[in-house]
Chain A
């Protein structure tokens, strides 16, 4: 039983914290980054590369830093505190994990050095959060697969140099077998995309594939066996997202408490009112519960038992979702009018936290998954 970071992890936290503070300490800078094409400043991305965090989750043989889930948690928490807009989760954590577990190491050095951005394209119009719900056909034609169809809400898709596309090579729409992951060059003929900002100031894209030819050599993992890789990668992304949410919630609780201590009405700081103090305490309780589950997620994501891993991740996502909703809504309420302005940071934390709930399965989705599995979480 040990909740301490190692010395290396402490150093990592400190250096990433410093980097993020220098790039995001002034909230106006963030607004500047968002004016770039694809919603982030490539110069900041290059700094991430230089700092080594783009290579963090990859092994040394893969050209990486050899970090594990705790290292990812540390970085993601800092990203959450900073309210960072770069596609770190999308590219390094999520797409990176697909490459890692699909044993498709060739593109990893390009991610690690910041040369290439890779984005996972798996969501379709009807799939919602079900990873097995894949229709987009990839038909074998000689030595290439031919892709036809559309993918939605591709995180980091506007800036992507490569897509990892979940395709259907056999079976029916919701079959767990027959899903093949393909690495697709974004410049391939037949690809068109429409990038757009998301509600929380990040970016995604709609991507359409019109007779896009992908060499069979670009299969990640095995043909038809893409789902377990996808599931594993999404679990890692959820663990990272939980940490990001904790960073955002922690900052938001602090910000709200500070505001209550300085905002005066009726001649006194409004933080002197017990109703508002108790609300703040309830926010803190929700934050600590979320922090515990983010740790649990990080420490469970490498669990060899797939069911145990999935249950832990789902449980964490539910707690994070509940805490994020409560803290987000209450912090806006306690700020009053300023909380619902675009100018002020609190509302942006609230928006990010709200979108986190909608990603990779909302609380209801994960609750049902857990209920169906019937496994004991607390025992």
Chain B
């Protein structure tokens, strides 16, 4: 037993760290540190730098830009990005649709989409959730009707993250409404967002931001060649996609980075005649979270060690549901601590949180305070998306405890 990284792993970590320090734009980093929204430009610029280095899609097949890293190396890479903090490669492209096309797509689709997807020349969004199909995703109602060489898509998707930037959307749609089980009869179809009949409407979240959208499909005509894999097998591909999403699901690096930031700010924040950081009650709250985070980090490493033994792209490990539950809770609780730091300056609402419409008005209170409330409000989504924590508990109950 040994908790230390190997010499190679340490060297790799240092290489990643040095690359980020040298290449990440200070403006992008600053936005992340301050909890401001990062815009399309930040994502694209950073991902192209990663792609030039060969690091945008390390877990893809080697012929399409993969690096053949082990689970540990992938984890170190993501952890370093989170701790820097730097944007992660766009997950809709890199963790979701890319691996599906690389595994189940046609040669034409691979050539057309994969290099552009890795370089973020195409921005993808995910057309899965619907108003009536959230945790019960297989209950989706969007239809794709075959007419000659085309599918005609009708329906509504929702919670579509950053659809406002997207060039393409990957959609789960029902191609066989008569199928015996609702999981059957679903297909995985790629749709150009510019196709007539596609409408995007932003949904404003409680933090004031507009990161998610409704996407409407009204008689949208899509070439049949945009079907991925076989018709009616889309559910299998969606499940494959979701297991790919598990790496780094606990986002421990994000919480670590935030705790470091909280400590830094709590030193400059006065509390009576001392620093806030010198208050025993504050320290105990902080330590309490740090302990759980340390435990989760080791739990994460244990899950990775198992993954390494199973080999790459093994079965989905139900233990990653433990990581999701605890990881989301800890991310959320760090946002609460950040509000503790800001005190009354959490209150002022700055309408300028959106990158696009920031004004030149001076901030109210310290300039880092404006994001504390919104970040907390926004973070409530973390235990809801990607399979709510209650769904994760169902998975563990069934797959680990055998209920």
Contacts and interface: CB of A to CB of B under 8 A. Distances in A.
B290 A378 contact: yes
Given A257-B402, A289-B326, A378 B3 contact: no
Interface string B366-403: 00000000000000000000000010011011001111
A292 B284 contact: no
Residue among A3, A278, A284, A299 having the largest count of chain B Cβ atoms under 10 Å? A3
Nearest to B76: A1
Given A289-B326, A378-B297, A368 B305 contact: no
B305 A3 contact: yes
Given A5-B1, A280-B403, A371-B287, A289 B292 contact: yes
A292 B295 contact: yes
Contacts of A370: 287, 291
A379 B262 CA distance: 13
- Give the contact-size bracket for chain B: 35 or more
Contact of B288 (A274, A277, A293, A367): A367
A377 B3 contact: no
Given A367-B287, A370-B287, A295 B298 contact: yes
Residue among B259, B290, B296, B297 having the largest count of chain A Cβ atoms under 10 Å? B290
A305 interface: no
Contacts, number: 131
Contact of A378 (B256, B280, B403): B256
A281 B397 contact: yes
Contact of B72 (A1, A260, A298, A368): A1
A288 B302 CA distance: 10
B283 interface: yes
Interface in B232-278: 255-256, 259-260, 263, 277
Interface string A246-286: 00000000000100110000000001101001101110110
A318 interface: yes
B144 interface: no
Contacts of B260: 376, 379
B322 interface: yes
B390 A1 contact: no
B383 to A, nearest CB: 13
Given A1-B6, A319-B292, A292 B299 contact: yes
B301 interface: yes
B280 A371 contact: yes
A294 B222 CA distance: 56
A2 interface: yes
Contact of B403 (A70, A277, A282, A376): A277
B290 A280 contact: no
A293 B295 contact: yes
Contacts of A278: 390, 393, 397
Contacts of B280: 368, 371-372
Contacts of B401: 257, 277, 280-281, 284
A261 B290 contact: no
A260 B2 CA distance: 36
A289 B299 contact: yes
Nearest to A374: B283
A272 B291 CA distance: 33
B299 A288 contact: yes
A277 B301 CA distance: 26
A368 B280 CA distance: 8
- Judged by DSSP, the binding face of B is helix
Contacts of B301: 1, 3
Contact of B3 (A277, A296, A318, A372): A296
- Judged by DSSP, the binding face of A is helix
A158 to B, nearest CB: 35
Given A315-B294, A371-B280, A285 B397 contact: no
B325 interface: yes
Contact of A371 (B284, B394, B403): B284
B294 A2 contact: no
Contacts of B295: 289-290, 292-293, 296, 319
A4 interface: yes
A47 B275 CA distance: 58
Interface in B287-318: 287-288, 290-299, 301-302, 304-305
Contact of A1 (B3, B322, B397): B3
Interface in A286-328: 288-293, 295-296, 298-299, 315, 318-319
Nearest to A318: B291
A293 B3 CA distance: 12
A323 to B, nearest CB: 9
A1 B305 contact: yes
A191 to B, nearest CB: 41
Contacts of A291: 299
B5 interface: yes
Contacts of B403: 257, 260-261, 271-272, 277, 280
A1 B9 contact: yes
A284 B291 contact: no
Nearest to A276: B403
A281 B400 CA distance: 9
B178 interface: no
Interface string A313-347: 00100110000000000000000000000000000
Residue among B5, B256, B284, B401 having the largest count of chain A Cβ atoms under 10 Å? B401
A284 B298 contact: no
27 contacts: A1-B4, A70-B1, A261-B402, A277-B394, A277-B397, A281-B397, A282-B393, A284-B322, A289-B326, A291-B299, A292-B295, A292-B302, A293-B294, A293-B295, A296-B298, A299-B3, A315-B294, A318-B291, A319-B291, A370-B291, A371-B280, A371-B286, A372-B280, A377-B290, A378-B259, A378-B293, A379-B260
Q: Which 7 pairs, one residue from A and one from B, show the smallest C-beta to C-beta distance?
A: A292-B298, A371-B283, A277-B397, A289-B295, A377-B290, A378-B293, A378-B290
Given A295-B1, A367-B288, A372-B283, 20 more contacts: A1-B2, A1-B3, A1-B301, A5-B1, A257-B402, A261-B403, A274-B397, A277-B394, A277-B397, A277-B403, A281-B397, A285-B322, A291-B299, A293-B295, A293-B298, A367-B287, A368-B280, A371-B283, A372-B280, A374-B277
